[in-house]
Homo-oligomer: A and B are copies of this chain.
């Protein structure tokens, strides 16, 4: 039996929910910037206040070697399953700031969307789950046991999560995991994610002369680290868009024919994707459709590059060093450590002896696949269908959530991957947004999910 009172309550309280969400979005909890450490703490404290107000217990801000984890639990239905709800309260940096229509930490509603950094990734989603729990607790009551765990380092690759999960196995013990850091396909098409790409994020440094030189006085006699870096990066893809790191594809999971067929049935238009991104033409590895490339194939991307003089006007400098941030998205069966080693082997083979190079690892996590036939997934399918009026599609997601594989390995539970972001929410980009009608449907779906998971 459905919790109609809870759903009614969520609908009646939309205005207050939105006001509270704005409070959370106004906190610049950027995990990669050390100067935002106090904001990270503020965001964590804001969440504990929410959990307290909802009636959760054993609420704590649990330290890690980096940013802390917010924890709370409500365990008063013995005999019923325990759900661990996962999300993260940290956000990406905001640059280039100039491209934001409204300031990233002044949440602003325009039309059906609210714009702010973190609106969709992941504050809006974890907030929706908390509000679903609140609605149940204030009405029919929670039909099962719930643990909430919200981390503060997802956007920097969760470097301390492996240790945290391993050390807190008992505390995190559960039957079902709900990973809220996910999205649907369209406002009218719900989706559950069964695969996530992993990631190896590296910095590559190229060193030439011991100091910057005059490009007229020295150009033509010593290697230019910026040019060498460009050559090395250019060589990392072949003409077919394949990554050339030695052995890169050796362990890559072959996409089963049935999954290819399923992906082909997904509503997706290359032309719409091209328009949404604003590129003249799509690109990618030969032999795969765009959706296959996005979810089922590994990639190598330059996330940033810098060398020499990049300010206004001219400076005739021959730079002493150059740096690129390069991340590889991995698919199942690729080992992040092996891929890091392939990257170094590529450099050993191709970096010229006229420079020195260095690789620094910033983060690393394997890809994951989750079971599609579990109690949790069945509950999610039922909840989505009841709310959206259509069955969800199953999809592979191009992004990475390091915690998921840690849950599989340490807790033995495959997460239900259900969130309500949209592909055009501008994750990690200027003008990140949350689509409020889909967000509200998300809150109702979560209410129905907890009911269905409890067999209510």
The chain A residues found within 8 Å of chain B, CB to CB, are 31-34, 92-93, 95-96, 99, 155-157, 197, 199, 201, 208-224, 226-227, 229-231, 233-237, 273-274, 277-285, 290, 293-294, 297, 299, 301-319, 322-325, 327, 329, 352-356, 362-363, 397-400, 423, 426-431
Among B155, B209, B279, B317, point to the contact of A222 (Cβ < 8 A): B279
Among B33, B273, B310, B430, point to the contact of A325 (Cβ < 8 A): B310
Whether B302 contacts A226 by the Cβ 8 Å rule is: yes
Which of A216, A229, A285 counts the most B-chain CB atoms under 10 A from its CB?
A216
Q: Once the chains are docked, how many angstroms separate the CA of A380 from the CA of B236? A: 54
Identity of the chain B residue whose Cβ is nearest the Cβ of A209 in the assembled complex = B277
CB distance from A243 to the nearest CB of B (A): 10
Among B92, B234, B314, point to the contact of A363 (Cβ < 8 A): B314
Known A217-B423, A354-B279; judge A308-B315 contact (CB<8 A). Answer: no
Q: Once the chains are docked, how many angstroms separate the CA of A218 from the CA of B56? A: 38
CB distance from A105 to the nearest CB of B (A): 17
Whether A327 contacts B302 by the Cβ 8 Å rule is: no
Determine the chain B residues whose CB is within 8 A of the CB of A303 once the complex forms. 215, 308-309, 314-319
Known A314-B327, A327-B314; judge A220-B299 contact (CB<8 A). Answer: yes
Whether B363 contacts A294 by the Cβ 8 Å rule is: no
**Assembly of this chain: how many copies?**
2
Known A226-B304, A302-B230; judge A313-B33 contact (CB<8 A). Answer: yes
Whether B309 contacts A156 by the Cβ 8 Å rule is: no
CB distance from A40 to the nearest CB of B (A): 13
Q: Once the chains are docked, how many angstroms separate the CA of A199 from the CA of B284? A: 37
Q: Once the chains are docked, how many angstroms separate the CA of A133 from the CA of B293? A: 72
Whether A156 contacts B313 by the Cβ 8 Å rule is: yes
Q: Once the chains are docked, how many angstroms separate the CA of A302 from the CA of B208? A: 13
Q: Once the chains are docked, how many angstroms separate the CA of A429 from the CA of B222? A: 15
Identity of the chain B residue whose Cβ is nearest the Cβ of A211 in the assembled complex = B429
Whether B279 contacts A304 by the Cβ 8 Å rule is: no
Identity of the chain B residue whose Cβ is nearest the Cβ of A33 in the assembled complex = B312
Whether B354 contacts A428 by the Cβ 8 Å rule is: no
Determine the chain B residues whose CB is within 8 A of the CB of A274 once the complex forms. 222
CB distance from A399 to the nearest CB of B (A): 3
Whether B317 contacts A308 by the Cβ 8 Å rule is: no
Whether B305 contacts A322 by the Cβ 8 Å rule is: yes
Identity of the chain B residue whose Cβ is nearest the Cβ of A298 in the assembled complex = B220
Q: Once the chains are docked, how many angstroms separate the CA of A217 from the CA of B310? A: 29
Among B212, B302, B355, B426, point to the contact of A280 (Cβ < 8 A): B355
Identity of the chain B residue whose Cβ is nearest the Cβ of A323 in the assembled complex = B310
Known A211-B426, A211-B429; judge A305-B95 contact (CB<8 A). Answer: no
